[in-house]
A and B are shown apart, each in its own frame.
Chain A
Amino acid sequence: MEIDVTKPSSCGGVARRLGAIGAVAAAVALALAWTAKPAAAAAPDAQCLTCHSMPGLEMPLPNGEKLTLTIPTDTFEHSIHSPLGCTGCHTDISLPAHPAAMPVIKSRREFSLKMVQVCQTCHTQQSKEWQTSVHAALIREGNTVAPVCTNCHSPHAVQKGVAEAIDTVPCKICHANIFTAYSGSVHGMLRSGGVTQAPLCFNCHGAHAVRVPSAVQDLKDTCLNCHTDAVQAHSTWLPNVALHFNVVSCPACHVPNAHRRVDLMLYDATSQKVLPQPEGIPEFQSPDGSSMTARPGLDPQTLFNLLRSLNRPGTPDKTVIQGRLEVSTAIEAHQIVPASAAISDCATCHRAGANPFQSVVVSVAGPAGIPIRYGASKDVLTSAFSVPSIGGFYAIGGTRITILDAIAALGLVCGIGFGAGHGGLRIFFWYLRKHTQHTQTKG
């Protein structure tokens, strides 16, 4: 059943028809309706639910969508919002004029955004946190699918703890692939097994102030919040633990089958923040602002020139590059394995041609703090240009500068060659002198 608010029909028409049949019939109908519902339903709610409990009740919207108006009575009455009653949230609805006086709802999205205002009247703190989230930032940038309150918390069915349970956590509605990856991870399996200390989405990403760990520098801190002994545990076998923790993301080792890459972030040395997309530099312009990892990568000299351009004389802030080893996709980042299966062989990274250094991106901060990544040639890590341009990121063996190998080889060859050449000549002339003396003696 659909409701068109532009025509005085549907639910309002039904009521009027019920009125026309007579008060007795209406009373019987109401009594029947109330009998079928739990006693908790207050009178005004019951009045609303008379119509809104009808299955298939929908309202067509101008954009062609349909707004579902059915409120399953049982569900609502078991929700923690039930005591508020319908009018607790739907304050703009005047019952006598409803539904004819309903304001025009252009789209479901518009309705959801409008209802955010309602939610924040009670959930002030959560609303403030949400305003700082990547979801809110995306919406401010015009994103039309980033979630608002009602996308995660079905307002008529909201129950305490539902959003915190692995079976009902709302994140998986949009992030299904990531959730599948998580479910197979050591975290997901432990959580499924009832270990509530194992993290669910919100434990790492926040519940309302949702953030993208890869977009911030405290990714490792997210892990260390629970794994408080991680530094100590790694220091028993890993040299330069602090450095490794700074430049290697946890999943880079703890998701052994992932595709790894180097993320070279353009950084403001003063503010210690990732730079936003630089203006006026062609290499950092994309028509749609999307990632351009698929484009031919920045070569070493171009990257060097870019840094020079960003740090040209007169520029107040110094731009530097900070590198980090990470996994290539968000899905892979959630496939954490038990520590015993993590990579612990140093040669995985510290050898020439190591897999993690075959893929390189240069990233800046996107509109919502989500990195925008630009493809770069892997040679940016091994070229002599890397010394001035990406001086802060280096992995022994893995990103060694090729020309230095040639210089070292030249040093060894010259060192041995000098002795061999000079010594050979000494022996030759010594033999010649002996031969001459011998000849002269004989003569």
Chain B
Amino acid sequence: MQRVYIHALPVRIWHWTNALSCVLLALTGIQIRYIGMINVVPFRIAVMAHNVIGFIIIANFFLWLFYYLTSPKIRNYLPTLHWGRFFQDAMRQSLFYAFGVFKGEPNPHHVSMYHQFNPLQQVTYQIIMLVVLPIQGLTGVLLWNLTGFAGIVDLLGGVRVVDTVHVLIFALFLFFIPFHAYLASMGHTPLADFKAMWTGYEDLEEDERADGAE
């Protein structure tokens, strides 16, 4: 085993802030939407917490954006422009998740400082970070001050349209949060990726060393 520094401190702070915020936003969102059925905290407190955490995650998003736009680590998110190879790698990764992992085959993707994500992760994270999260943040801000943003809300079709989009993305996160956590358990040990995101260091197996030492 070789330990390779994969996740820089700003990335780890961003990630865990994001993770905690997402979970808290989901929980407070559930409390707000289902008050009466779930009464863990008063509605007013839940709304206040949801708003505050929402702004934290928005600020966190911009820190993430600034960090990656000014860092060579942005390469992690950029799929290869060789589409044939991209498709081939994506298929290989899909087949690993669908079949290979059950046969005990090694993960076809080898992580490194500038190659942390497999093709499926690259596409998924780009969609999450550049489309889904901004839309969720935008709809959240609009719902936070409907009167102040009345013009934009009307332009988008009204509060129900904005709220429906917000809830649909919330549903997507309800899927994504456990899904993401589960996939993180598919390292060479179930907790390997969690530890790596906490310490910054990834333990590479023998066949991964060549890539990881990049």
Contacts and interface: CB of A to CB of B under 8 A. Distances in A.
Interface in A396-442: 396-397, 400-401, 404, 407-408, 410-412, 414-416, 418-419, 422-423, 425-426, 429-430, 433
A323 to B, nearest CB: 10
A50 B186 CA distance: 110
A137 interface: no
A419 B33 contact: no
B160 A351 contact: no
A227 B163 CA distance: 32
B210 interface: no
Given A396-B33, A397-B35, A412-B175, A239 B164 contact: no
18 contacts: A346-B35, A350-B32, A350-B35, A350-B43, A351-B36, A387-B157, A387-B164, A391-B161, A392-B158, A396-B32, A401-B167, A404-B168, A404-B171, A411-B174, A414-B179, A415-B179, A425-B102, A433-B104
B146 A243 contact: yes
Contacts of A411: 171-175
A387 B181 contact: no
A353 interface: yes
Contacts of B159: 391-394
A408 B161 contact: no
Contact of A353 (B33, B36, B42): B36
Interface in B30-55: 32-37, 42-44, 47-48, 51
Contacts of A394: 158-160, 163
Please give me the 7 A-B residue pairs with the lowest Cβ-Cβ distance, nearest first. A391-B158, A351-B36, A419-B182, A411-B171, A242-B147, A415-B178, A415-B175
A242 to B, nearest CB: 4
A393 B168 CA distance: 18
Contact of A387 (B48, B97, B161): B161
Contact of A419 (B44, B160, B170, B181): B181
Contact of A404 (B43, B158, B167, B177): B167
A358 to B, nearest CB: 14
Contacts of A415: 174-179
Contact of A422 (B172, B173, B175, B182): B182
A240 B170 CA distance: 21
A406 B197 CA distance: 33
B122 to A, nearest CB: 20
A397 B146 contact: no
A386 B160 contact: yes
A403 to B, nearest CB: 10
A347 interface: yes
B179 A419 contact: yes
Secondary structure at the B interface, as helix, strand, loop or mixed, is: helix
Nearest to B182: A419
B102 A240 contact: no
Which among A392, A414, A425 has the greatest number of chain B C-beta atoms within 10 A?
Answer: A392
Contact of A390 (B160, B170, B176, B185): B160
Interface residues of B, number: 45
Nearest to A417: B178
A411 to B, nearest CB: 4
A237 B48 CA distance: 10
B160 to A, nearest CB: 4
B103 A429 contact: yes
A352 interface: yes
Contact of A414 (B102, B103, B161, B175): B175
Contacts of A353: 36
Contact of A429 (B102, B144, B148, B181): B102
A347 B102 contact: no
B19 interface: no
Contact of B102 (A243, A351, A396, A426): A426
A397 B177 contact: no
Which among A393, A412, A430 has the greatest number of chain B C-beta atoms within 10 A?
Answer: A412
A401 B172 CA distance: 16
Contacts of B102: 425-426, 429
B9 interface: no
Given A400-B33, A415-B174, A430 B161 contact: no
A112 interface: no
